[in-house]
Amino acid sequence: MNQTVPVSDIDPFSLDVLTDPYPAYERLREAGPVVWLERHGVWASARFSAVRAAVLDHETFSSAAGVGLADLRRQPGPSQADAGMAGAGRGTGWRTPSLLLEQDQPDHTRARRVVGSVLSPSAIRAKTESWTAQAESMVGQLVDTGEFDGISRLAQELPLRLFADAVGLPREGRGENLLPFADFAFNAFGPPNELFRKSVAGGDATLPWVVRHCYPDRLSPDGWGAQIHRLAESEGYSLDEGAVLVRSLLAAGIDTTVRGLGSVLWLLATHPEQYAALRARPDLIRAAFDEAVRLESPTRMFFRAVVKDTVLDGVELPAGEKILLLFGAANRDPRRWDRPDEFDITRRSGGHLGFGAGIHACVGRIVAYLEADVMLRALTRHAAAIETSSPPRWHLNNTTRGLAELPLTLSSSA
């Protein structure tokens, strides 16, 4: 190869970048379609066209080496255990690979069929009435009651109640276990930095509960978890493999939606004209959530491994190394978006990469859309104004982006 690929010393996992990623994303985007990150010895792309092309070319950009920084081909994780969990102390090789996220075709296709049939549009639609009523009651208790934390009272409460009920988890233990577990799991896709090390204790403390609750004897028989086990068995998966499939729901289904719901609340509270537009046109609810996911993508990145020599956006890449795909940067690429840093619920934001694209596109996205829909519908019905009094606190994680705390007030009259 005689081309030169720009080299960057940016660390996308440093605390500075995680606190405010957008200046670093701009530098990476402007450096070229692909850059070499010398700190980590990986390629990275921050441009929309390159990130999209890479996720769509799943034969060249493989997931089976893991979608974090660590290369599972070089650093094998636990090979077998119940639900394949060795313990957080094992570092980035802490679990058997996900049967969905960290597989290529044809294995991935089989797992996707199982989870995709359980999380089908009609199964999700069947929750509308009950979820609407619960969101109405949650919001109703908060209107005209003074300041509250929008993250703990809404953004966490909805997934921890609605989603976890639908999966079939017991009430007891959810909050204490699911959130620290997901925080650890998402940190583990990054380097073994300070953030990761700080979340290991939470990972270790919650792993036994999470593993235990991936098995049918702890899941209610009519929930999504039990349904996954039944379908998995009919597809020839073992009991432990069925549990690893349920683990995908517990790992990917809570923290992501907490951050996404938190960001849309924050963006609406800080853009009163957009909230007024939403109240006038509730048909924009889905677009408003998509716009928040574009602007503050809750899953800011995943890696792929380059397994064939290829050309990505004009850049020759030899097989061998991993490439960091920065969805959160692609979603603000001025080559793709007008006024990319502005929150505008009327724009056509549906083509963003916040849920990925291609065969690995988020299998639970319609669950996220329904949670956002019932929350925003209840808000627009009951609150004429949504306001925030002080700057929010960000929750820092190697993979996820969103708020830890958001002071909010809801008033029934403007």
Question: Quick one: how many helices (H) and strands (E) in the chain?
Answer: 18, 13
Smallest distance from ligand OVM to CB 373, Å = 21
Question: Between 46 and 244, whose beta carbon lies closer to ligand OVM?
Answer: 244
Question: Between 143 and 205, whose beta carbon lies closer to ligand OVM?
Answer: 205
Q: Which residues bind ligand OVM (CB under 6 A)?
A: 98, 100-101, 185-186, 247-248, 251-252
Smallest distance from ligand OVM to CB 246, Å = 10
Smallest distance from ligand OVM to CB 336, Å = 24
Structure tokens at 37: 């990150």
d(CA 348, CA 292): 12
d(CA 268, CA 116): 31
Smallest distance from ligand OVM to CB 251, Å = 4
Amino acid at the residue 356: G
Question: Between 58 and 347, whose beta carbon lies closer to ligand OVM?
Answer: 58
Question: Between 55 and 252, whose beta carbon lies closer to ligand OVM?
Answer: 252
**44 — phi, psi (to 5°)?**
-145, 145
Question: Between 34 and 101, whose beta carbon lies closer to ligand OVM?
Answer: 101
Structure tokens at 105: 């075709």
Smallest distance from ligand OVM to CB 265, Å = 22
339's CB contacts (< 8 A; 6+ apart) are none
Q: Other CB atoms closer than 10 Å to residue 205's CB: what's the count?
A: 15
Smallest distance from ligand OVM to CB 77, Å = 13
Of 266, 262, 260, nearest in space to 290 by CA: 260
Question: Between 31 and 100, whose beta carbon lies closer to ligand OVM?
Answer: 100
Instruction: Please report, in angstroms and rounded to a whole number, the separation of the first and last CA atoms in the chain.
Output: 63
